[in-house]
Amino acid sequence: MRFGIVTDSSCDLPESYTARENVSVVSFYVSFDGENYLREGKEAGITEFYQKMADNPDCYPKTSMPSVQDYIDAFRPLVKKDLPVLCICLTKHFSGSMQAAVSAKEEVEEEFPLAKIEVVDSQLVTGLQGLFVKEAVKLRNQDVDLETAVKALKKIRNTGQIFFTTKDLKYLEHGGRIGKAACLAGSMLNIKPILHFYNAELGSTELCRGRKKSLHKIIEKFLDYVEKEQIDLSQYTLITGVGLMVPEFETFQEDLKTAIKKKGYNIEAWDTMQIGATIGVHTGPYPMGLGILKKCEI
């Protein structure tokens, strides 16, 4: 390897992948009582996290970012092997995880003056951050050096787009994304938000009545975006994601496949992922959607 890769658990990559590809994952922390915090994906399983939310509708869990020491513990073994380090973090608009990584970099470089650590703001979240890490892995596996890899990765950060919805507005209200009046009205009218992540920010594009219609609207919004921006999907990676696994996720994917074919795009399969706690605390247990990120070119 020309360099080692570190990321935080908000990338939502499965452990089977990160272990196989030697990606070190620094965990966010999850708490249901505001006092006891468990490491996401290690001490707190994501399915169990969502199930607990589903079983306790009045429970609003919290997340806490990794500590400086967590990053030091991830950097040090790689540096001791004389490996440069690429650290990919959740967008700084959502968390201070990147700042903790920068502080850890400074401490490790003081301890090891010859160490080389690059901390990169992915400007992405959840599955898109995961795709970004996968692009980094591909470059590393092609024996690309760290400097060249960082330049290539930074060129694709602003290509990431996520279109998704969730079942319950109350988590968005609790997190300050919408007001109480809007939440109450939306709940009474069975209103679902259509959410769009782009340019490192999360925004609502519109509201839709009913879960089924909201899932169809996501697909419509996505394909409208692809057509409007004249995107060649062969140059992008597509991913779909879900929180707590529900039967409608399979239907959503089949509907997406059908809609893509009707538009003339030749995409038969794509990766699926489980959306993690970092986003889940804001969406509740039933987020569902899709995202795209451009592939790296050197």
pLDDT digits (tens, 9 = 90+) for 4-27: 999 999 999 999 999 999 999 999
* CA separation for the pair 171, 275 (Å, rounded): 15
pLDDT, greater one: 178 or 157: 157
**Which residues are within 8 A (CB) of 228 and not within 5 positions of it... i.e. 6 or more apart?**
none
Q: What is the pLDDT of residue 188?
A: 44
pTM, to two decimals: 0.93
Number of H helices, E strands in the chain: 11, 13
Q: Which residues does 222 contact at the CB level (< 8 Å), separation at least 6?
A: 161, 163, 290, 292
Distance of CA 287 to the CA centre of its chain: 12
**pLDDT reading at 186 higher than 70:** no
pLDDT of residue 22: 98
Task: Using pLDDT thresholds of 50, 70 and 90, give the confidence band for residue 35.
Answer: confident
Question: Residue 204 has what pLDDT?
Answer: 63
Question: What CA–CA distances, in Å, run from 178 to 80, 111, 172?
Answer: 47, 46, 6
* pLDDT at residue 192, as a whole number: 80
Please give the pLDDT value at position 17: 97
Angle at 129 between CA 174 and CA 65, to 5 degrees: 50
The overall average pLDDT reported for the chain is 91
Instruction: Please classify residue 288 by burial: count the beta carbons closer than 10 Å to its beta carbon, then call 0-12 exposed, 13-18 middle and 19+ buried.
Output: buried
| SS3 labels along 105-126 | HHHHHHHCCCCCEEEEECCCCH
**pLDDT tens-digit series, residues 253-294:** 999 999 999 999 988 889 999 999 998 998 899 999 999 999
Q: What is the mean pLDDT of residues 172-197?
A: 57
Return the C-alpha torsion angle 204, 205, 211, 216, nearest 10.
-140
CA 98, CA 92: separation in Å to the nearest integer?
Answer: 6
Q: How far apart are CA 64 and CA 278, in angstroms?
A: 9
Cα distance between residue 133 and residue 129, in whole Å: 6
**Can you tell me the distance from the alpha carbon of 52 to that of 56, in angstroms, rounded to the nearest whole number?**
6
- Report whether pLDDT(117) > 80: yes
Can you read off the two tokens belonging to residue 134? 């996968």
**Is the model's pLDDT at 62 over the cut of 70?**
yes
